[in-house]
């Protein structure tokens, strides 16, 4: 291999915090260490949902999205704590601060994971040493475990970080893709969910290897243009750069409207929020994004501007969930002053392909049905025009 080519080869890390919420709780309260622990949206309700759980809990068969009642039957000694998002946000910021002492080429993916381009600070030759130091510092300074994948691109780095948990470091080379990834089911590939896997299965594409060698037209007819992108990744090809500004560029998606009259009644305002939520959901879907911060904007007849926001554990992209949160904020903060303008913004957004929903409420049973319905509504509106069809209030 040419020396120059070896030196200049891109090296990317994907750092993924292990059982992040549970680990933060254990770091704040050492008495919880070594225990079967779960963070639950409503620990007192048997139908409350586990947001995450420790590896000790997983050893008993406990897993994320279980109800509290189910988890307690599997593991009677399970310790439950409510989520504390501000605590997790602070831990996340501290983790990113450590990563940025190595390089500015750090791209946040979510609250607990990041891509880091280390090509210019050591490359492949020093990748293992850099990864070990990052991992040890985060454990020593924050008392939090993480796993790291090392690869020539984002897709392979993210895949590698999942291969050994907790506290793993894995190198995945492009030449290893056919042996390591191709035998796996397409459902195990990052970027492919249950719905896409079912569509691929109908096209007789069962494994990552099947996708890698599938006919381009067949893949495109099955999953659209995104299918061709996934086929490339199945072959270990991913040209995306680590972009520190990426999260800023896709920072928020919103919509606002000036009312025909200065409104003083609640119901008409809520009707406006319903339409705004549908517009925001449509724009999020078009950009394949979801976000964990929702804000409402209120401009009064006296031109006084107000903004109120809320951070949620479940990334928002469905219109009814967006409406529910916006309406709740409005009811809580509107003082009855006549309103001239209303708006909704969803921020702290991430791509669907990088989305791992932090379930904390009892909405998981509706999840698949709502996603299917949202897609149907979107297709109908694409065909007959925006706003032609929308979901009714429940």
Coil, strand or helix: which one is 182?
coil
| Structure-token match 């299918």, residue found | 227
| H or E element that contains 300 | strand 289-300
C-alpha span between 16 and 110 (Å, rounded): 9
Q: Assess contact for 255 and 169: CB atoms under 8 A.
A: no
List the one residue out of 317, 313, 320 whose CA is nearest residue 346.
317
Q: Is 321 a catalytic residue?
A: no
Residues 6+ apart with CB under 8 A from 73: none
Residue positions counted in the chain: 394
Tokens of 375: 């897609």
Backbone angles phi, psi at 235, to 5 degrees: -95, 10
C-alpha span between 200 and 341 (Å, rounded): 45
Backbone angles phi, psi at 46, to 5 degrees: -65, -25
C-alpha span between 286 and 250 (Å, rounded): 13
Q: Assess contact for 203 and 222: CB atoms under 8 A.
A: yes
Query: Is the backbone of residue 387 left (phi > 0), alpha (psi -120 to 50) or beta?
Result: left
DSSP letter for 34, please: T
C-alpha span between 303 and 284 (Å, rounded): 29
The active-site residue out of 56, 107, 113, 325 is 113
C-alpha span between 254 and 257 (Å, rounded): 11
List the one residue out of 271, 242, 16 whose CA is nearest residue 144.
16
Q: Assess contact for 116 and 106: CB atoms under 8 A.
A: yes
Coil, strand or helix: which one is 43?
coil
List the one residue out of 94, 82, 88, 40 whose CA is nearest residue 62.
40
Q: How many CB atoms lie within 10 A of CB 180?
A: 16
- As annotated, the active-site residues are 113
């Amino acid at each position: 291999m040419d020396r120059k080519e070896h030196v200049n080869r891109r090296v990317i890390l994907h750092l993924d915090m292990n059982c992040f919420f549970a680990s933060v709780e254990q770091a704040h309260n050492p008495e919880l260490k070594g225990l079967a622990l779960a963070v639950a949206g409503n620990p007192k309700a048997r139908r409350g949902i586990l947001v995450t759980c420790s590896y000790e809990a997983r050893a008993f068969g406990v897993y994320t999205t279980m109800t509290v009642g189910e988890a307690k039957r599997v593991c009677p000694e399970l310790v439950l704590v409510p989520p504390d998002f501000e605590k997790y946000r602070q831990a996340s910021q501290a983790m990113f601060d450590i990563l940025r002492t190595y390089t500015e080429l750090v791209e946040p993916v979510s609250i607990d994971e990041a891509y880091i381009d280390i090509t210019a600070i050591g490359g492949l030759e020093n990748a293992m040493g850099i990864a070990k130091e990052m991992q040890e510092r985060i454990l020593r300074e924050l008392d939090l475990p993480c796993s790291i994948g090392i690869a020539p691109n984002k897709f392979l780095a993210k895949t590698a970080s999942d291969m050994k948990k907790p506290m793993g470091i894995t190198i995945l080379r492009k030449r290893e893709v056919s042996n390591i990834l191709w035998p796996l089911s397409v459902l195990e590939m990052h970027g492919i969910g249950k719905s896409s896997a079912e569509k691929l299965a109908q096209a007789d594409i069962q494994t990552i290897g099947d996708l890698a060698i599938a006919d381009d037209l067949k893949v495109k007819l099955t999953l659209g243009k995104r299918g061709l992108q996934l086929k490339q990744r199945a072959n270990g090809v991913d040209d995306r750069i680590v972009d520190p500004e990426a999260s800023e560029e896709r920072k928020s998606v919103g919509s606002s409207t000036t009312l025909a009259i200065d409104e003083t009644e609640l119901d008409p305002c809520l009707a406006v929020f319903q339409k705004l939520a549908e517009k925001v959901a449509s724009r999020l879907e078009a950009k394949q994004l979801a976000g964990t911060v929702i804000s409402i904007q209120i401009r009064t007849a006296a031109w006084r501007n107000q903004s109120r926001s809320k951070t949620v554990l479940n990334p928002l992209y469905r219109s009814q969930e967006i409406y529910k949160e916006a309406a709740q904020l409005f009811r809580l903060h509107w003082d009855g002053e006549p309103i001239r303008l209303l708006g909704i913004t969803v921020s702290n957004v991430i791509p669907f392909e990088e989305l791992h929903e932090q379930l904390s409420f009892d909405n998981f049973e509706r999840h698949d049905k709502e996603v299917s319905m949202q897609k149907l509504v979107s297709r109908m509106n694409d065909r007959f025009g925006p706003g032609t069809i929308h979901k009714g209030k429940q």
